[in-house]
Amino acid sequence: MSGIPDLPETFDDLPDKRRFWPGAAGSEEEGLGMLRLLTPAVVAQAARNEIQTGERVCLNWDMENLSPPGFGRKPFEHRVKWVAEGVAFDDEYHFNPQQSSQWDGLRHHNAPAPTPENKERRVFYGGTTAEEIQDESCSRIGIGFWAKKGIAGRGVLIDYVSYAAKKGISVNALSRQMISLDEVLEIARECNIEFQRGDIFFLRVGLPGTWEGMSTEQRVTYSQQATPQHAGIEQSERVLRFLWDNHFAAVASDAVSFEVYPALNPEFDLHHHLLAGWGVPIGEMFDLEELAATCQRLGRWTFFISSSPLNCSRGVSSPPNCMAIF
């Protein structure tokens, strides 16, 4: 059992496959979304089982790497300034969390929720409206709920990049390359991975390698596209069933969008289902290079994860400030 009494065990048990909103509006339960799976017992068990050697790997991509960023986002700026001339420096950071490693919070993406009266209606998780999010006095489903407890538990890596290399498959993380669920399951079998409820699911698609192989001109061209292309996991009912039935607390990738973008199967757009529908955080552009190398060296693809989102009550997204401990 999941340990969460109101959580349907299987995808088939969901009364509404598109949304599961058990928490009262504005409550901590609603604000945590699926992170409420990370109970003290789940976190303690993960720590006991996964922390063995004490090796640590941080999963935060250099904040200046994705320059210029796509979607017209503000590029990263860092300034070092005297706060007391000749005595002490301060620094100033100006950035959009979405231009590097980040957690998509529940305020980031809405989903269609048509009614007979309003067929164009769209809402965020819990039925939260855009007007509530723009209200400076409202912190409903803000990332501040996550900051109070942090994100900690058992991480699991599906290393598609290494799998593709063995299969002779070329990988371009800035193309519409789809990673199939069958490939994910094959990698899990090869690595003897057994998913557990409350796992934090990581998928390595290879954005750092793709980005490092691009010229300055190619990077600028990417950033100026109205609709850039991103590799990622497939959109399908099978994937939704896989994600729900395993009860992941969060998912993350080194890809820009986690799922293939633009969606090859819009009916099963994962941002709609995971963020707006089920309250599952989506991590994007995590740096998984050293993590993959460490997993390969140790022959294990599970580890303890610790992540501390920014403590901003109305926040939409946050740098992950994430560490894997082996």
Taking only the tens place, the pLDDT of each residue in 259-271 is: 999 999 999 999 9
In a domain, 8, yes or no: no
- The answer to whether position 12 is within a domain reads no
Task: Give the integer Cα–Cα distance in Å for 206 and 164.
Answer: 10
**What pLDDT is recorded for position 4?**
59
Percent of the chain with pLDDT over 90: 82
Average pLDDT over residues 293-319: 96
Q: What would the mean pLDDT of 175-188 be, rounded to a whole number?
A: 97
pLDDT at 3 over 50: no
Q: Enter the pTM of the model.
A: 0.94
In a domain, 234, yes or no: yes
Residue 239 included in any domain: yes
In a domain, 79, yes or no: no
What percentage of the chain has pLDDT greater than the value 70?
98
Calpha distance 153→139 (Å, rounded): 25
Number of domains in the chain: 1
**Contacts of the segment 292-295: beta carbons below 8 A, 24+ positions apart:** 292/157, 292/159, 292/161, 292/162, 292/204, 294/55, 294/57, 294/324, 294/326, 295/157, 295/159
CATH code: domain of residue 287: 3.50.30.50
Q: What is the CA radius of gyration of the chain?
A: 20
Residues 187, 193, 194, 200, Cα dihedral to 10° = -90
Question: What pLDDT is attached to residue 244?
Answer: 98
Confidence of residue 1 (pLDDT cuts 50, 70, 90): very low
Q: What's the whole-number average pLDDT of the chain?
A: 93
Average pLDDT for residues 183-188, to the nearest whole number?
Answer: 98
If we measure between CA atoms, which residue out of 162, 100, 152 comes closest to residue 295?
A: 162
Q: What tens digit of pLDDT does each residue of 9-54 get?
A: 999 999 999 999 999 999 999 999 999 999 999 999 999 999 999 9
295 SS3 class: helix
Query: Does position 2 have pLDDT exceeding 50, yes or no?
Result: no
d(CA 21, CA 55): 38
Of 158, 61, 143, 75, which Cα lies nearest the Cα of 108? 143
123 has pLDDT over 60 = yes
Bridge partners, 88 (sequence order): 84
In a domain, 226, yes or no: yes
First to last CA, the chain: 27
Count of residues for the chain? 326
Q: Which domain holds residue 129?
A: 19-70+94-325
Does any domain span residue 82? no
Interhelix angle 237-245/181-190, nearest 10 degrees: 40
